[in-house]
Amino acid sequence: MRLALGLQYDGAAFSGWQTQHSGQTVQDHLEAALVKFIGDPAIAKVNTITAGRTDAGVHALGQVVHFDTDIVRPDLSWVKGVNAFLPATISVQWVKPVPVDFDARFSGFERTYCYALLTGPCAAPLVAGKAGYYMLPQGKSLDVEAMRKASQCLLGEHDFSSFRSSECQSKTPVKTLYQLDIHQHGPWIYFVVRGNAFLHHMVRNLVGSLLAVGSGKESPDWLKSVLEARNRQLAAPTYMPDGLYLIRVGYPENFEIPEPNLAGSLLPLELFKSIEVS
């Protein structure tokens, strides 16, 4: 039997999703909790597959995972039971049976991320680890309209090599962006990015380059030239992981994957009304 589950976590507490020798990853904690909840001495390992292998410091509101098991228990029992063995920074939101051809990673046809950025003259300790930060003198602000203008060249299918990490294992740098919206709420700026798939560090690299435009260091036309050059050295540095959230993974309707609960974060709920669904 194949089960899918929805997962939320505070990435600041972990070394990313993927299992490591340190054991301090989301996958390590989830698989250990599944083994403890199953409680069968013959089952020492549960292998999980995720929709998005988030990096250290990156958060998730709508992560989706699947695993196979012969254990039959009510869906709510899985939710409560597994959560009982997880740290407070990880939470299973739902569990449901899915067809055996469902794959959390490969069945997903799009992902939506949001980058939350706080601007101001000094850091804000109460949102440390939950948002990116851009230092600005009192009374100054980023040019959001310039960033919006620059971002238009990124929409559609492109070779995103200029925004690809050297550690990226993707078979192709060609990806499709369906949406890139930039919202300003006072000192907060939110980048909502939706695409068919993303390269390693791609969203954080895009944010870093958009901020180079918003700060006036570069012109809006500069971003198009960087994209066309397919040269990582020409783009801005990778921005900090703190503000990046995996919001949603899109699946074919026949799998009936629940929509994520987006209420449990510092991100404003009205922000999600702008997220388009294919």
What does the angle CA 214 – CA 155 – CA 119 come to, to the nearest 5 degrees?
25
What DSSP element (H or E) covers 149? helix 144-151
Tell me whether residue 101 is one of the annotated catalytic residues. Answer: no
- List Cα–Cα distances, 75 to 23, 72, 96, in angstroms: 27, 9, 6
Q: Is 113 annotated as a binding residue?
A: yes
Q: One of 10, 28, 40, 55 is an active-site residue; which one?
A: 55
Q: Do 144 and 136 form a contact (C-beta atoms < 8 A)?
A: no
State how far the Cα of 254 lies from the Cα of 269, in Å rounded to an integer. 27
E strands, the chain, in order: 2-9, 48-50, 59-68, 90-98, 110-120, 132-135, 156-159, 174-185, 188-195, 244-250
State how far the Cα of 33 lies from the Cα of 80, in Å rounded to an integer. 11
Q: Do 132 and 207 form a contact (C-beta atoms < 8 A)?
A: yes
Binding residues for substrate: 113
Q: Which residues are catalytic?
A: 55
